[in-house]
Chains A and B, each alone.
Chain A
Amino acid sequence: MIIHPQLISIFASKIFKNIMANIQELQQTVSQVRRDIVRMVHANNSGHPGGSLGCTEYLVALYFETMKHDNNFKMDGKGEDLFFLSNGHISPVFYSVLARSGYFDVAELATFRKIDSRLQGHPTTHEGLPGVRMASGSLGQGMSVAIGAAQTKKLNGDDRIVYSLHGDGELQEGQNWEAAMYASANKVDNLICAIDLNGQQIDGSTEEVLDMGSLEAKFTAFGFDVITEKQGNNMEKVLEVLAEAKSRTGNGKPICILLHTEMGNGVDYMMGSHKWHGVAPNDDELANALAQNEETLGDY
């Protein structure tokens, strides 16, 4: 198991300033992950920076603080918390966080989307990349997968938690609602599904493309314990909502975090638009993005 310096620090801390120091360290990791994301996408002139940048705080919080996990990767993940990325197109943030957590060498990030790479455009188990347990990319399958893994944990008497992340546009796929129905009917209460609510999808805002109405009302009606976090790009808030979600597991209901994020967060010209869903920055735009995110842990 990986014992991160931040974890040690939070265990040792009895006073507030140490917690703040921990948040500061996590934010430094966020800054480095954002650099990795824009550099990976720029190097191929392809990939999905917008959603990746928006989910950076959430994934850093999960892997560097919330989840118990082992970077000496074992597919079965017994005794570990598990994470499934359903919206596989935000692979840059997933790969960067896995590499920075020690699942594989950060130098391998340079192979993203290139031929013979384990870092495929969308995550896959097929090339044996440590940290990935399921292929994703074709949308709408991750909640079912996470439910399956959560059910196996229960059968195995394994009390760890299964986390999943889904795009908001992705919820237009009907399979999510099959899965949601199953999860509540069968009290899959070791499952925390987060919805990346950035309100954007490829063709425009989610409201313009296919208005889904109130997701809070929908998930509540489908029997989830729903927690809304309005500031999904605020590390302190993300840590709080994860701690809250975790405390609510084991109560007979699956948990849904509606995580409001901003697509492109951390790079000013990418924010507030669907334009940067799947577009790579050019050389000047890359330099601009890097200037906004400090190199904290060393570029790959």
Chain B
Amino acid sequence: MKKYTYTETKDTRSGFGAGLVEAARKNSEVVGLCADLTGSLKMNAFEDEFPERFFQVGISEANMMSMAAGMTIGGKIPFTGTFANFSTSRVYDQIRQSIAYSDKNVKICASHAGLTLGEDGATHQVLEDLGMMKMLPGMVVINPCDYNQTKAATMAIAEYLGPVYLRFGRPKMPVFTPADQDFKIGEAVMLNEGADVSIIATGHLVWEAIEAGHILAEMGIDAEVINIHTIKPLDVEAILKSVEKTGCVVTAEEHQMNGGLGDSVAQLLALKNPTPLEMVAVNDSFGESGVPALLMEKYGLTRTDIVKSVEAVIKRK
């Protein structure tokens, strides 16, 4: 198992904040909208540098989404910022009609996704957002794994013409991907080539998948570890190629089993190459208040859970 080292931990939302400033420096059409969460979304640097391109909309997410759609008319590239819950379920109809169906070039940037939001509890811990967003025709859905990748993704989506959902979070995660990476939408990142099982992970679970790979190596299991930062369009080729070699799959994500990455992979494999599959995901449940690490443990989203799922899926080969 390949070693990944890191010198610091950072939150992915800060990667978004840094990427937004870079994207705005590069392209004067980039504008930012925020619904009273500028600090939480790390949009302050953008607001300070480009005050005339920053739009504080207050606590009115529906207005923000439709306004962003309107702003594209005349060439702006709006980035909306609020928590993932208020970026999706609260404004689904606005996104569906004014952004997705109207083919508008809006970037929906969503922080505090999943259980790692922690103490605020289930009202804010959206675990259904990837599913909601991937169901919308034409919507690109991205869930990067660390600070550097989130920054690179933010810059990449500014260059892409069309609606995008970019999901990131609150906890500090190891920064292990290269600072100068070339982020390619829809292209899986091979983290470790292996022969016995394919571990396909997204977002915060990518680091757990790497750690699980080391544990498995000690157990004599050679795991292939793939970072799927783009849920849609899914890198079908990379997944099918890996599965052909390993013959079994474990998916890992901070999301409901229904509608998430595992669901997309299961659909693909059922259609193209039926293969034993286990999913590390939240099993049809809301979250709750608590320290993020303890929540991840309670809801079964740790490296240990990935290892257990690998052991189970290998037996099914």
Contact = CB atoms under 8 A, between A and B. Distances in A.
Interface stretch (B62-70, B169-177, B261-269): B62-70
Contact of B66 (A82, A141, A152, A181): A141
A134 B98 contact: yes
B103 A141 contact: no
Nearest to A75: B73
Contact count band on B: 20 to 34
B73 A82 contact: yes
Q: Which residue, A141, A149, A156, has most C-beta atoms of chain B within 10 A?
A: A141
Given A126-B103, A175-B62, A153 B74 contact: yes
B94 interface: yes
Contacts of A135: 97-98, 101-102
B62 A144 contact: yes
Contact of B75 (A76, A142, A150, A185): A76
Contacts of B233: none
Interface stretch (B51-59, B190-198, B224-232): B51-59
A181 B60 CA distance: 10
A125 B102 contact: yes
Nearest to A179: B63
A126 B101 CA distance: 6
Contacts of B96: 138
B76 interface: yes
B108 to A, nearest CB: 14
B69 A182 contact: no
Contact of A152 (B58, B62, B70, B98): B70
A135 B63 CA distance: 15
A100 to B, nearest CB: 23
Given A134-B98, A138-B97, A182 B67 contact: yes
Q: Which residue, B53, B65, B71, has most C-beta atoms of chain A within 10 A?
A: B71
A166 to B, nearest CB: 13
Contacts of B60: 175, 178-179, 181-182
Contacts of B102: 124-126, 134-135
A147 B73 CA distance: 11
Contacts of B109: none
A145 B102 CA distance: 11
B209 interface: no
B152 interface: no
B47 to A, nearest CB: 15
B55 A152 contact: no
B103 A148 contact: no
B153 interface: no
A181 B58 contact: yes
Contacts of A149: 70-71, 73-74
Q: Which residue, B66, B70, B78, has most C-beta atoms of chain A within 10 A?
A: B70
Contact of A148 (B62, B66, B101): B66
A181 B62 CA distance: 13
A175 B94 contact: yes
Contacts of B185: none
A151 B78 CA distance: 12
A1 interface: no
A148 B94 contact: no
B33 to A, nearest CB: 9
B127 interface: no
Contacts of B68: 148
Contacts of A142: 66
Contacts of B78: 148
A149 B67 CA distance: 7
A102 interface: no
Contacts of B67: 144-145, 147-148, 151, 179, 182
A149 to B, nearest CB: 4
B159 interface: no
Given A151-B70, A179-B60, 15 more contacts: A84-B70, A126-B101, A133-B73, A134-B102, A138-B93, A141-B62, A144-B65, A145-B70, A155-B31, A155-B52, A155-B53, A158-B74, A174-B62, A178-B62, A182-B60
8 contacts: A77-B74, A134-B102, A141-B98, A148-B71, A150-B70, A152-B74, A181-B58, A186-B55
5 cross-chain pairs, A with B, having the tightest CB-CB distances, nearest first: A148-B70, A144-B66, A178-B60, A152-B74, A148-B67
